[in-house]
Chain A
Amino acid sequence: MFPLSISRVEISVKSKKLLGPINLVINEKGITVVLGANGSGKTTLLEALHGLRKLSRGKLEWSVPNSQAAQQQSFVFQSPIMLRRSVIENLIYPLIVRRISKSIAVEEAKLWAQKIGLENKMSQQAPLLSGGEMQAVAVARALITKPKMLFLDEPTASLDGLAKKTIEEILIIAAKGGTKIIMSTHDLGQAKRLANDIIYLHKGILESHGPKEDFLNAPPSDAARQFLAGDIVI
């Protein structure tokens, strides 16, 4: 499925350019963190890579046909989208969609409920969970299909320390298990903890992409330097 080659990708809405042109190659290993201020195009980039946004220009190329690549991806949204069903029914949903038998799906979902510490809340309605629990369910639901590619859009933006830790631990295990992860975040600490490489976006332009250490030691631009220093980047 990898590498994913992104060439001259642009996204515009009503002739206003939100993103691009982006040229990038994504390889199959590790965690790539997308950094940037609000409105820098992080969400747009992730959505475009996942196929949720129509490209205004350029192209995305997986090494397999797009339909096959789509089957092997998952996406976790910034505010978790819970189906109006119980926790377990949320977890089995992607498996049922892929025509996996219900008994196998339920077994798998029980394992995931344990991993996220919700084994006692499996029959509870998912939209009534706390924010952290909902996001954990969303991450588990994204990983239950064993995707090769997982996108996360600021998954821990509104979560407290413990909820954040639970999710980060799951992501590290998933990455070790061979799932490529691309996640956006505001949280520099999180980027330092998780990232193998960092993509830095500023006003829709890709300013740098490289190993975490390079970005942290030698920020590519004034905006990136300000961002790292904790200044307000406009």
Chain B
Amino acid sequence: MNEILQGLVQAFWLVISLDTELIAISLRSLYVTLTALLISTLVAFPLAALIVVTRFRFRRVVIAILNALMGLPPVVVGLLVYIIFSRSGPLGVLGLLYTTSAMIIAQTVIITPLIASVAHQSMRELWADYRDLLISINTSKPQRIGTLMWDSKRALITACLAGFGRGIGEVGAIMIVGGNIDNATRVLTTAISLETSRGDFSLALALGFVLISLALSVSFATHWFGKTERGGLW
């Protein structure tokens, strides 16, 4: 109990004193996860909408795989990305291992299926409503995809938040591909992991509280800008 209190107090002081290392680590966390999130949404949203509006042979198999990939163990993703980018790996020449780029790639792999699945679910329901109308109006496939994405934007924001939550709190993959190098690839989660193993629980807790408040602020900000729960049903 005492340690939690100490952690809170220390977190408070770290934030109040604008601790440079804490700020650097937090910003790096945000940079890695938000970049991964951006790439994921660019891939996942159109992909999900395309699966919704297109009938093809292995559609159900693709959806099942997408859903299964939601539970992809981050450690395994980290391991695979590590092998691919390690010196002797197929993309070793790029020299990305132990950089934030490798961390972004790993996180993108982890959160894309999650975002795509959530987006697919909500757009599928909207498509059930819209299908006849959009076909009747003689819309092209890109127009259908655009309409579905625009009109389910609230659900897509939720998908982003789910992806952000999974990314920002993830430690297994980025620890492996990033290496938790001070001033280079250390982020909040890997720092917490390190401080815990070093026995500095209060600092670990302080970092944990910062991490939680970061996640909460992003969520609140998104809801605020997205005007969720205001002005009508959606």
Query: A: which residues have CB within 8 A of B?
Result: 50, 52, 70-71, 73-75, 77, 81, 83-85, 93-94, 97, 125, 127-128
Contact = CB atoms under 8 A, between A and B. Distances in A.
Interface string B136-171: 111100010001000100000000000000000000
A84 B150 CA distance: 9
Nearest to B129: A81
A23 B62 CA distance: 42
Most buried by A among B126, B132, B135, B136: B136
CB-CB nearest 9 A-B residue pairs? A81-B133, A75-B136, A125-B232, A84-B151, A70-B138, A94-B137, A97-B139, A97-B143, A97-B137
A203 B232 CA distance: 43
A43 to B, nearest CB: 11
A93 B147 CA distance: 10
Contacts of A50: 136
Interface string B103-146: 00000000000000000000000100110110111110001000
Contacts of B136: 50, 52, 73-75, 77
* Chain B interface extent, by class: 10 to 19
B234 interface: yes
A128 B137 contact: no
Contacts, number: 40
Nearest to B147: A83
Contacts of B151: 83-85
B232 A128 contact: yes
B67 to A, nearest CB: 25
Contacts of B129: 81
B133 A77 contact: yes
Most buried by B among A50, A81, A84, A85: A84
A1 B83 CA distance: 63
10 contacts: A52-B132, A52-B135, A52-B136, A73-B136, A75-B132, A77-B133, A81-B129, A97-B139, A97-B143, A125-B232
B16 interface: no
B233 interface: yes
A69 B138 CA distance: 10
Most buried by A among B130, B137, B151, B232: B137
